[in-house]
Structure 1
Amino acid sequence: MEGARVSLKGWQQAAVALGSALGALMDPRRANLVAALGETTGKPAFFRVLKQMRNSREGRSGHARVISAQVSHAWDLPENTFGSAYARFMGSRNFYPDDRPPV
C-alpha cells in the first residue's frame, strides 16, 4: 500500500486523536477509531515495541502476528500470568485474535 500514508500537521493529529478517542469510548468495537488513536498518539510506544521486537528472535523473523492457534493455550495458564489475563480479557469481550485483519 505504497502512498497510503497521509502526513498531518500537529493540530490535525490532535483533532484526529481527540475525535478517535471520543468515538472509541462511545463504541470500542470501532477498530478503525482505536487504530487511528494509536497511530496519532502511540509513536513513543511504537518505537519501544519495535526495539524489543528487533531484539528478539521471533520479532526479527517477521512472524509475530497473534492468531488463535498460537494463544489458545492461554486459557490453561496459571491465574497470575499475562496469558491468563489476556484470555480472560478477550473472552469477556468476545474478541478473537483472528477477527483483526492482517496489517
Structure 2
Amino acid sequence: MAACCAGLLRGSGLAGPLYPGPYRHDMVAVLGETTGSLALQRLRDKMRRDAEGYQILRERPRIRLSTLDVAGLRGLPDGTFGREYMRFLEDNRVSPDTRMPAKFVDDEELAYVIQRYREVHDLMHTLLGMPTNMLGEVVVKWFEAVQTGLPMCALGAAFGPIRLKARKLQVLTTELIPWAVQSGLRANCILNIYYERRWEQTVESLREEIGILPPPSIRL
C-alpha cells in the first residue's frame, strides 16, 4: 500500500502543478488527497468551530447538476451569485459534475471536506471573477493556497506560472498575486459558507461578507 501511494504521489506531483485547472483534474485530485491530510484536518476543525460550517459538515450538501435548480438560477437577475455562477459554467463550458469523488482519504468526514473544497472551486472562480484559462486558474490557486493550506494548491500556485508568457506573468506577479493573497488572508474560511443558500445574494455583497476584495480591473 505504501508503495502504491508513493507511486500515486510521484505521478500526481508531476502532473498537478503544471495543470492547476481542469486540464488534468484527475492528477490534481490525487495529489490533493495524498498530500493534504494535515490541512484537511485543520479545515475540518475550522468548520466544526463555525456554526454554518458545522451545519455543512452535518448535512453534507453536494453541488451537482442534479442538486441545482439550473432553470431557476438562470432566471435570477444579473449580478446575483446564482446567475453569475451559471454564466461562469456556460461561458467556460464546465460542469460541477466533473469534480472527482475522494478515493484516497479513509476518514469519511475528511473525505467530505476535500469533496466540498472541490465542489466550491468553481464558486471561487465566480466570486474572484477569474476565467478558467491558465492565468485565471493560477490566481484562484494562490487564493486557495492561502485559504486552505493544501499542498497541491501551493504547488499549483508556484509552478502554474511556468507556462505563462512574459506579459501575463508580469500582470500576475505585480497585480493579481498580491490581490489574491490579500483576499485569502482577510477572507473567512471559504468552506464555512453555505453557498446553496446564497444564490439570490449579489456577488458584490457576498464578496463583502466573506472578505474578498473586488477583482483588479485587468483584462484576462
Which bracket does the TM-score occupy, shorter chain normalised? 0.5 to 0.7
Aligned to 2:183: none
Aligned to 1:93: 92
* Equivalent in 26, 29, 32 of residue 32 of structure 1: 26
Query: Which structure is richer in relative contact order (CA contacts within 8 A, separation 6 or more)?
Result: 2
Aligned to 1:70: 67
| Counterpart code for 2:66 | A
Give 1:6 shift. 3.9
* Compared CA separation, residues 99 and 19, structure 1 to 2 (3 A): closer
Does the 8 A contact of 2:74 with 2:82 survive in 1? yes
Gaps of 5+ in 1: none
Match of 1:69, SS state, is coil
Aligned to 1:47: 43
Task: Give the TM-score of the pair, scaled to structure 1.
Answer: 0.54
Does the 8 A contact of 2:15 with 2:28 survive in 1? no
Aligned to 2:59: 61
d(CA) in 2 for partners of 1:60 and 1:98?
Answer: 22
| Counterpart code for 2:43 | F
Give 1:47 shift. 0.6
d(CA) in 1 for partners of 2:100 and 2:15?
Answer: 23
* Compared CA separation, residues 79 and 59, structure 1 to 2 (3 A): farther
* Compared CA separation, residues 74 and 38, structure 1 to 2 (3 A): farther
d(CA) in 1 for partners of 2:86 and 2:99?
Answer: 16
Does the 8 A contact of 1:21 with 1:37 survive in 2? no
CA RMSD in angstroms, aligned pairs only: 4.0
Give 1:37 shift. 5.1
Match of 2:22, SS state, is coil
Give 1:84 shift. 1.9
Does the 8 A contact of 1:20 with 1:33 survive in 2? yes
d(CA) in 1 for partners of 2:29 and 2:15?
Answer: 12
Give 1:19 shift. 4.1
| Counterpart code for 2:63 | V
Match of 2:94, SS state, is coil
d(CA) in 1 for partners of 2:45 and 2:82?
Answer: 18
Does the 8 A contact of 1:21 with 1:33 survive in 2? no
CA deviations on 1:19-39 (whole Å, 9 max, x unpaired) are 4121x15x7332213324544
* Compared CA separation, residues 90 and 101, structure 1 to 2 (3 A): same
Identity %: 28
